[in-house]
Structure 1
Amino acid sequence: MSAPEQFLVDNAAGWRLAMTRVSPPETTKPGLRPVLIIPGYGMNSFIFGFHPEGLSLVEALAARGHEVWTVDLRGQGRTIRARGSLRYGMAELAIEDVAAAIKHVVTNTRTGADKVDLIGCSLGTALAFAHVACVPESPVHAIVSLGGLVTWKEAHPIVRFAFGSPWLAGMLRVKNTRQMARVALPVLAKVAPSVLSVYLNHRSTDLSQSHRMVQTVEDPHPVINREIAEWIQRGDLVVDGINVSKKLASFTHPFLCVVANDDGIVPPATSRHTYDVIGSSTKEILFVGDADLPIAHADLFLCRGAEDRVFAPIANFLHDV
């Protein structure tokens, strides 16, 4: 696999977004649209290029002929703050950052395509749909939800407790989350795996490289904390005054919904709801995990057999639509 190409992209709001492209010339198939992967909350794009045992999501898609792009939104990964404000929310991420990333992909793709396919991971799904709701002329073809959501139908008690008060959620500032995760992850895996299994199940994922996995962890953002708390209470996703949940029925993008059977961050009922209500005539749903191999939120990227269970079906769907 060729080394990723790295870019810094001006989002026109004082940030330079870190983007990567993996496009091996020997495997990239003509006619396929470029794929842009959008991270979720409290994470960056590192995890898309990492797997403890096999091919990562990026590597698996590229091996099947796709030109694959990742982006770090503001406050994530290698993205650089130049003069941009630190006060931003989901609207800025969905409208400004995702738009800048899509424009860069369409302008620089080697595929010749004039549209892009989006893979939204966790909150990245909400940002993808918020983007097409707020920027309806955006050149987006297909959308994949990977453990993502638009409307809260259910919330795990831990999540509901953590975001129980919008005011409190918006006031708390947590720093050094990655360092704390580096210490806590191996300890929880040994002494309290049931607590960790809300996010990552030790029965399904090899945690021996947890010190590398935590490179994807980012500090939470107070404004987005408040917005998530309000979103959970309201149910519907509202971004920049637009009720994205209500607009789902009018969307016609080909859509694949990937649901983890034991997800404690985005419960299956919440994740699959997007599939149930979207207006797309071309839509598929993929349930991942069973009693023997319970798949939690992050297991979708990291579990044993992820290439066959998750990554290959995504590649096949995007190839066919």
Structure 2
Amino acid sequence: MSERYPILKGAEPFYFEGNRVGILVSHGFTGSTQSMRPLGEAYAAAGYTVCGPRLKGHGTHYEDMEQTTFQDWVDSIEEGYYWLKERCDTIFMTGLSMGGTLTLYMAAKYPEILSIMLINAAIDIPAMDPVIELEGVRFLDAIGSDIKKPGVNELSYDKTPVQSVKELLTFINEVKQKLMDITCPALILVSDEDHVVPPDNAKYIYDRIGSEVKEIQHLKDSYHVATLDYDQEIIINNTLDFIKKFL
């Protein structure tokens, strides 16, 4: 599937070449790299090599997204992973929302990933389940830009393709089966108030991953897109601290 629409300004993938430690950064469902760029830039400023792929069908137009499968999103992340593998000896990964789901998927598949950092990761979204039964409806309302801080907007789609929600739910169910395969250290960051992914997803993940080293940290002043919200600096500092523990 080739995308029909141009990439939106600010939604481009980002790459920063630094030292031999790589950090793979994934944005979320219907969102774009814009939501993760502040983290990517902070990691680069700390000297790391950073890759923030644009998930296929994202950052252009929701009609492009409608044509993609979850495997396309996995492929986008794996492409970034191999870009880092060529340049780095060690790789960490962090992701927001479905980017967190992709992070879990990657940690299960590539045990050499040294540690993972999840931000409001999606593994159980009961409110989306009825979408599976929808017939004849192509698009739903937007789910992006759930941000507490006034005047800050996520670069995300203003409609959500029904087909894409179905792909997301299929992917989530696949990743659920792999949680016990994850053994690397995990930092689980969760907003206490989130209008997209229920905060109890954090405990669900914590209880089911096979990692011995794992912790939950609460973000008290952000909604779902916490990377662009009041807790942005906390996320940057805490993830950088977590990375340093394993170097």
Summarize deviations over 1:70-118 as a string: whole Å, max 9, x none. 1101112269xxxx99633223322x222112112222x3xx41x4211
Asked if the contact 2:26/2:36 (under 8 Å) is kept, the reply is no
Among 37, 41, 44, the residue aligned to 2:29: 41
Among 67, 73, 81, the residue aligned to 2:49: 67
Asked if the contact 2:202/2:216 (under 8 Å) is kept, the reply is no
Asked if the contact 1:43/1:218 (under 8 Å) is kept, the reply is no
Alpha-carbon distance in structure 2 between the residues aligned to 1:170 and 1:124 = 28
Give the counterpart letter for 1:93 in structure 2.
W
Alpha-carbon distance in structure 2 between the residues aligned to 1:220 and 1:274 = 25
Q: Percent identity?
A: 19
Bigger CA radius of gyration:
1
Q: In the superposition, relative to structure 1, how do residues 100 and 138 fare at CA in structure 2: closer, same or farther (>3 Å)?
A: farther
Q: In the superposition, relative to structure 1, how do residues 62 and 170 fare at CA in structure 2: closer, same or farther (>3 Å)?
A: farther
Q: In the superposition, relative to structure 1, how do residues 43 and 170 fare at CA in structure 2: closer, same or farther (>3 Å)?
A: farther
Give the counterpart letter for 1:119 in structure 2.
T
Asked if the contact 1:170/1:226 (under 8 Å) is kept, the reply is no
Among 1, 14, 27, the residue aligned to 1:20: 14
2:202 match: 271
Alpha-carbon distance in structure 1 between the residues aligned to 2:51 and 2:199 = 27
Alpha-carbon distance in structure 2 between the residues aligned to 1:278 and 1:129 = 9
2:67 match: 87
For residues 207-218 of structure 1, the aligned pairs below 5 Å read 207-208=150-151, 210=152, 213-217=153-157
Alpha-carbon distance in structure 2 between the residues aligned to 1:165 and 1:89 = 16
Matched, 1:125 2:100: yes
Alpha-carbon distance in structure 2 between the residues aligned to 1:261 and 1:137 = 30
Alpha-carbon distance in structure 2 between the residues aligned to 1:37 and 1:271 = 19
Asked if the contact 1:275/1:283 (under 8 Å) is kept, the reply is yes
Tell me the CA shift for residue 316 of structure 1.
Answer: 0.9
Structure 2 unmatched ranges of 5 or more: none
Tell me the CA shift for residue 258 of structure 1.
Answer: 0.4
TM-score by length of 1: 0.64
Alpha-carbon distance in structure 2 between the residues aligned to 1:140 and 1:170 = 41
Alpha-carbon distance in structure 2 between the residues aligned to 1:165 and 1:174 = 9
Matched, 1:296 2:236: no
- Two-structure CA RMSD over aligned residues (Å): 3.4
1:7 match: none
Asked if the contact 1:61/1:315 (under 8 Å) is kept, the reply is yes
Among 213, 218, 226, the residue aligned to 1:282: 213
Q: Please state whether the residue corresponding to 1:259 is helix, strand or coil.
A: strand
Among 57, 60, 77, the residue aligned to 1:98: 77
Aligned residues: 239
Tell me the CA shift for residue 19 of structure 1.
Answer: 2.9
Alpha-carbon distance in structure 2 between the residues aligned to 1:262 and 1:174 = 22
Q: Please state whether the residue corresponding to 1:72 is helix, strand or coil.
A: coil
Which 4+ stretches in 1 moved above 6 angstroms?
A: none
Q: Please state whether the residue corresponding to 1:140 is helix, strand or coil.
A: coil
Alpha-carbon distance in structure 2 between the residues aligned to 1:272 and 1:20 = 31
Alpha-carbon distance in structure 2 between the residues aligned to 1:165 and 1:86 = 14
Matched, 1:147 2:110: no
Summarize deviations over 1:149-179 as a string: whole Å, max 9, x none. 32x2x64xxxx1x65231327832369x69x
Asked if the contact 1:41/1:220 (under 8 Å) is kept, the reply is no
Tell me the CA shift for residue 41 of structure 1.
Answer: 0.5
Alpha-carbon distance in structure 1 between the residues aligned to 2:182 and 2:154 = 35
Structure 1 unmatched ranges of 5 or more: 1-12, 50-55, 186-198
TM-score by length of 2: 0.80
